[in-house]
Structure 1
Amino acid sequence: MATFLSRRAALAAATGAGAVAALTACASDIRPLADSSASGEASASASTSESASASASASASATESAKKSYKGTVKLDKYEKNGEYVPATAEKKAQNVPKPIVPEKMNEATIEGMYEFLSYWVASFNYMFMTGDYEPLKKADPEGRYANEGSNAVIIYSSGRGWVYDTDTPVTVQLLTDAPKKVAGGPNRYDWLGRIIYDPNAKIHIEGQDPAPLVDGSTKSEATNFAADYKDGAWYMLSDEDADASSSEKSSASA
């Protein structure tokens, strides 16, 4: 049985891929993230003092927050509710899905801020899969790397031909360490070891086709590093490619 998302594409599904294979004559590969190095360099040169201040703040708060353990399932505390939530079924999409509310400290250069950013990011990612609405995710992804109209999760809804069902949370994240680890690649680059858990019951309904698992049935969970960078007053989620590139650039500069 075909699946909507391959193992590695489960989170990459929102990176701006072309149309879903089920909605087009042939499958499209997930395209790489847009190169934001030019704008990043301009921003960095314009706010050197701000970055230095943020770096000092993040480093100091890292020590203070290290005493608190954030290990475990990542949870967002607040959601906006509009009417009674009706779960999706094979016959109709979900109704009145609770919308994630931005946490108060999400944009702070602290470990707590990074945790709140991650909790909102995951909740908004799931919301996008359940509704096709990527507006909440844009608040944690202003560059539109993950939140955009070209993502697979958005296309199935905007086309009017499908939806996700048999799940409320397609993706759950568990953190495996008490706090993130500061890594090379920038003054505020952090990695947080965690595990992505896919709901094995999640399915995708597409008009005229048999139901299919949302994610490859052989995939239940996988360990990963959640890489984030704090810049310009906000946290940014990095792809594997971004994280590797920033680390390589840092190593080359110090060589």
Structure 2
Amino acid sequence: MNGAGRKVAQRRVGSLSMAVVCGMLLTGCGPSDEPEGPESTASTETDQVDEGSESGEVTDEAAEAEPDPEPEPVPASSEGPAENWPEPEVPDEVYQETGDGAIAMLEHWVETRNYLQLTGDDEPMWEISSEDCELCQNVTERMTGVYATGDHWYESEGSSIDSAYATNVLDGRAYVMFEFYEGRFVAYENGDELGQGGGSDFDLCEAALDYVDGRWLVQEINVIPPEG
């Protein structure tokens, strides 16, 4: 499921260089004057530099503006959906053609699911999932549909996986067995609670992943509901 998501700092350029140039022109010799000595010129230029520094002007070397701070993430609540929520970062392990690499990608997939539930953005999930993944399609259709009107959203504690192990890694294909916990969530409409869900454990789950273009790609995930 391919997805993810970067600012240019403003620069302040001081006018000190122009002030120095103008100062040199104003202290040039007249027709009947003797040229000023090196000592006098150096003193004048030093004074101008000091004046520029005291007036708060900055040179090109000091004009390296610091980047703007990232907006503070705001969690979802009855007041509104999550804002400025950070997109999950892809871990380095997903590029390793090993069982651990496949598990790392599956864990990252769950993080993109949590991100989708809080934002309605399914791009990060599709960046790491096959378009043939049926569970991925079902999850994205349901969750993006909630956010489509702009007056519905989720508050969620987040889902996770546990006890994951790769049963087979051969010829670029890996199967991972795992337990899935669906985090508790609340659905809202314009601040009014519509319902709650989640808080369930799924013990028998399996994922198939393929190693494609140097990293793992989620092909399918099967989650079997608990009996009863």
Q: What is the TM-score normalised by the length of structure 1? A: 0.51
* Alignment gaps of 5+ in structure 1: 1-13, 15-80, 242-255
Determine if contact 2:122/2:144 at 8 Å carries over to the other structure: yes
SS in structure 2 of the partner of residue 94 of structure 1: coil
In the alignment, the residues of structure 1 paired with residue 189 and residue 182 of structure 2 have an alpha-carbon distance, to the nearest angstrom, of: 20
Give the Cα–Cα distance (whole angstroms) in 2 for the partners of residues 199 and 120 of structure 1. Answer: 16
User: Normalising by the residue count of structure 2, what TM-score does the alignment of the two structures yield?
Assistant: 0.57
Residues 1:163 and 2:153 are matched in the alignment: yes
Decide whether the 8 Å contact of 1:191 with 1:227 is kept in 2.
yes
1:180 aligns with 2:166: yes
Distance change >3 Å, CA 160–CA 137, structure 1 → 2: same
Q: Does the 8 Å CA contact 2:211/2:217 hold for their aligned counterparts?
A: yes
Is residue 2:194 matched to residue 1:211?
yes
After superposition, give the CA deviation of every residue in 1:52-94 in whole Å (9 maximum; x if it has no partner). xxxxxxxxxxxxxxxxxxxxxxxxxxxxx94222111112111
Partner in structure 2 of residue 94 of structure 1: 82
Q: For the residues of structure 1 that align with 2:191 and 2:90, how far apart are their CA atoms? A: 37
Q: Tell me which residue corresponds to 1:135.
A: 123
2: CA distance, partners of 1:195 / 1:150: 21
- Relative CO higher for 1 or 2, CA cutoff 8 Å, sep ≥ 6? 1
Q: Which residue of structure 2 aligns with residue 110 of structure 1? A: 98
**5+ long unaligned stretches in structure 2:** 2-68, 224-228
1:163/1:87 CA distance change after superposition, 3 Å? same
Counting only pairs closer than 5 Å after superposition, residues 1-255 of structure 1 correspond to structure 2 as 82-143=70-131, 145=133, 146=136, 151-165=141-155, 167-169=156-158, 171-176=159-164, 179-182=165-168, 187-200=171-184, 202-207=185-190, 210-215=193-198, 220-233=200-213, 234-240=216-222
Number of residue equivalences: 152
- Say which one has the larger Rg: 2
Q: Deviations over 1:180-227 (max 9, x none)?
A: 1118xx744433332111223x11113496420133xxx521112332
Q: Contact 2:177–2:206 (CA<8 Å) still a contact in 1?
A: yes
Supply the distance in 2 between the matched residues of 1:158 and 1:103 (Cα, whole angstroms). Answer: 30
Asked if the contact 1:180–1:192 (Cα under 8 Å) also holds between the matched residues in 2, the reply is yes
SS at 2:93 equivalent: coil
Of residues 121-130 and 86-95 in structure 1, the stretch that sits farther from structure 2 once superposed is 86-95
Q: CA RMSD in A?
A: 3.1
Report if aligned partners of 1:161, 1:207 keep a CA contact under 8 Å in 2: yes
Partner secondary structure for residue 141 of structure 1: coil
Percent identity reads 22
In the aligned structure 1, how far is the partner of 2:81 from the partner of 2:171?
44
**AA in 2 matched with 1:236:** V
In structure 2, C-alpha distance between the alignment counterparts of 1:149 and 1:196, rounded to whole Å: 15
SS of the counterpart of 2:176?
strand
